[in-house]
Structure 1
Amino acid sequence: MRYYLKSIIAFSLFPQILLVKFLATKPEWIETYYSHGIYPIISKLFRILFGWLPFSIGDILYACLIILAVRYLIRNRKKIRYNIYPFLRDVLMVLSIVYFTFHFLWGLNYYRQPINKKLEIAITYTKPELINLTEDLVAKSNSIHFQITNDTAKAVIIPYSKSEILAMSKIGYQKLSEIYPKWNYTAPSIKRSLFSTLLTYMGYGGYLNPFTNEAQVNGIMPKFRDPFISSHEVGHQIGYSAENETNFIGYLAAVSNEDLYFRYSAYTYMIGYCLNDIRANDQETFDRLYSQLNPGILKNYQEVTDFWMAHENPLEPVFKSIFNSFLKANNQKDGIESYSKVVALLVNYHQKYPL
């Protein structure tokens, strides 16, 4: 590639950043022309292209890029040392291409209109409203748990394989699309990540590859969590980037699924967020509600806790810090804490549509 062309691509990064910052002030444009215009076409095209493959093209792409980058650095280390400016220009060029591709293929969804506007619900709530919702979630979870186990003391064991769980995730979205047609999900592309062990040590249950639009689920996590996590990642695929909103859509899809294991996974996942919110200000109420959960549910919670504790490592906080910074740089000012902001959506949605 000619020197001047490389320079043009490299320095185009700066006007790109300014353009994205400008578009961030126009969420109505993003919602209309990107999230409901260009993006659904891009997403479905990639799902059709890669969804039928049993392995992750995105994971392979990442691995190849890392190998090529390391190989380049090793082979050109002396050249780089004495020609630092061309090297920095090439790095800037790569960043420019990645920045454009990321935002065009998926990232502009970070700047779409908040979901509460679409659903016409508030994002503030009172303590009594939160407690009432948590009580309802506890009752729902206990009821479904007993329907599955016929024993309040037994942990739920999902009888499906990981692949079956991922395939079943689309069913909830099919039901949900009867109410919200824009959330229709066809041409599924949900896969176990080839790097599930690495994801585990990084502390993640899944992710969406923004360059191939493949939903990746951690393949070695306890299956108790899989129905909700797979539904969450599909929420990213249909165009929602904010973690609280994707948690919320994943929850709605999972509880819309007629399968009891999906509903159990979603209800018990949301209880965790609600109880954490209550515990921050009212330990007594937290203790009361927590004690109302069936012992079998607590065993499922302990299974997940034991899994993450067994994979604790010094680098996990580093990865979490990087991801936290990434989220903040992409219009999620609460960073990783934005996951827990799903509580506001849950409370207000169920004020409008009771459990």
Structure 2
Amino acid sequence: MTKRMKTIIAFSIIPQVILVKILAKHPELIEKYYSNGFYPYLSKGFRLVFGWIPFSVGDIFYTIATILIIRFLILKGRMFFYQTRNFFREVFVVISVLYFVFHLFWGLNYYRLPIYQSLNIDNDYTTEELFEFTDRLIAKANEVHYSITKNDTVMVSIPYSKRKIYKMTVNGFNKLSAEMPNLTYAPTSIKSSIYSTVLTYMGYGGYLNPFTNEAQVNSVAFSYKYPTVSCHEQAHQLGYSAENEANFIGYLAAVNNEDIYFKYSAYIYSLRYCLGEIRSRDPEKFREVNKKMNPGIIKNYINVSNFWKRYENKAEPAFKTSFNTFLKANNQKDGIKSYSYVVALLVNYYKNKEL
């Protein structure tokens, strides 16, 4: 590649950023022509190409990319001091290409219409509505928990392998697609990440690879959450990039699954967010609500909490801060805090529905 061509590609980052900023102001266009137009065909194509491969192609891609970066720094790192202009040209060629590919393959979904608008529901709720919904959710969670264990003090353990869970997720999406046709999910492309241990130390349950469109799940963090976390990553795959919306879709896909363990996973996964909101608004009410839950459900929560405590490290906050910055840079103004916003979607979605 000539120096002239490299310069053109490097400087193309500027019009690209401007174009994305302009498109971000027109979410209805993104929703119609990208998220519900071009992207579903692209995503399905990637799932056809990579879904059948038993290992994560995306993780291999990241491994090779890391090796190439290290190689570049070793061979051309001195350019920073002696040929600064050439050094930054090489760097921005890569950044420009990655920026373009990221937004074309997935990133523009960050700027689509909020899901509450497409579902025609409210995006706010009162404290009283939160209390009422949480009581309904606890009653349902207790019911499903007891139907599995026949003992309200026993913790639920998911009896399936990870691969079986991945296959079973399709059932919930198929049922959900009767109400929301854009959630039809086929073919599948969900896998355990090669770097699951690394993800655990970083504090993450999974991620979507935007370059191969593979849903990656942390296979080390296996708990009651696994079915819903798997559905969460598939929700990203279907174009719901915002974390709160992926949590919401992940819950709906799991709770609509015919399998009772998926339903249990969904109920207590979403209940955790509701409890967190109650604790922040009314600590006394939080203690009162806790007493309504089966002790076995609380044991599930404690089990997961103890797992993550074993992997706490000084680097984890830095990873969370980086991800928080990434979210804010991609149209999620609340960053990681937006995870709790799923409560608003749940409360309003179920205003006139049975759990």
- Listed as ranges, the matches of 1:263-342 within 5 Å are 263-342=263-342
Q: Distance in 1 between matches of 2:197 and 2:143?
A: 34
Q: Which runs of 4+ in 1 moved over 6 A?
A: none
Equivalent residues of 2:50, 2:57 under 8 A apart: yes
AA of the residue aligned to 2:270: M
Over residues 145-194 of structure 1, what are the superposed CA-to-partner deviations in whole Å (9 max), with x where a residue is unaligned? 11111111111011100111111111100000011111100010000000
Equivalent residues of 2:79, 2:86 under 8 A apart: no
Give the drift of 1:75.
2.2
| Secondary structure, counterpart of 1:224 in structure 2 | coil
AA of the residue aligned to 1:146: Y
Give the drift of 1:196.
0.2
What residue number does 1:77 align with? 77
Equivalent residues of 1:162, 1:223 under 8 A apart: no
Q: Distance in 1 between matches of 2:87 and 2:350?
A: 55
Q: Relative to structure 2, which stretch is displaced further, 279-288 or 310-319?
A: 279-288
Equivalent residues of 1:145, 1:156 under 8 A apart: yes
- Listed as ranges, the matches of 1:109-128 within 5 Å are 109-128=109-128
Q: Distance in 2 between matches of 1:80 and 1:323?
A: 28
What residue number does 2:231 align with? 231
Q: Distance in 1 between matches of 2:354 and 2:79?
A: 66
Unaligned runs of 5+ in 2: none
Equivalent residues of 2:206, 2:229 under 8 A apart: yes
Give the drift of 1:81.
3.0
What residue number does 1:5 align with? 5
Q: Distance in 2 between matches of 1:157 and 1:244?
A: 26
What residue number does 2:48 align with? 48
| Secondary structure, counterpart of 1:208 in structure 2 | strand
| Secondary structure, counterpart of 2:6 in structure 1 | helix
AA of the residue aligned to 1:111: Y
Equivalent residues of 1:47, 1:188 under 8 A apart: yes
Over residues 264-318 of structure 1, what are the superposed CA-to-partner deviations in whole Å (9 max), with x where a residue is unaligned? 1111011111111111121111111111111111111111001100000000000
Task: Report the TM-score, using the length of structure 2 for normalisation.
Answer: 0.99
What residue number does 1:246 align with? 246
- Listed as ranges, the matches of 1:55-70 within 5 Å are 55-70=55-70
Equivalent residues of 1:222, 1:303 under 8 A apart: no
Equivalent residues of 1:207, 1:215 under 8 A apart: yes
Q: Could you say what the CA RMSD is over the residues aligned between the two structures, in angstroms?
A: 0.8
| Secondary structure, counterpart of 2:331 in structure 1 | coil
Q: Does 1:221 align with 2:257?
A: no
Over residues 209-262 of structure 1, what are the superposed CA-to-partner deviations in whole Å (9 max), with x where a residue is unaligned? 000000000001133111010010110011111111111111111000011111
| Secondary structure, counterpart of 2:333 in structure 1 | coil
Unaligned runs of 5+ in 1: none
What residue number does 1:135 align with? 135
AA of the residue aligned to 2:171: I
AA of the residue aligned to 2:308: W
Equivalent residues of 1:10, 1:96 under 8 A apart: yes
Give the drift of 1:85.
1.2
AA of the residue aligned to 1:155: M
Task: Report the TM-score, using the length of structure 1 for normalisation.
Answer: 0.99
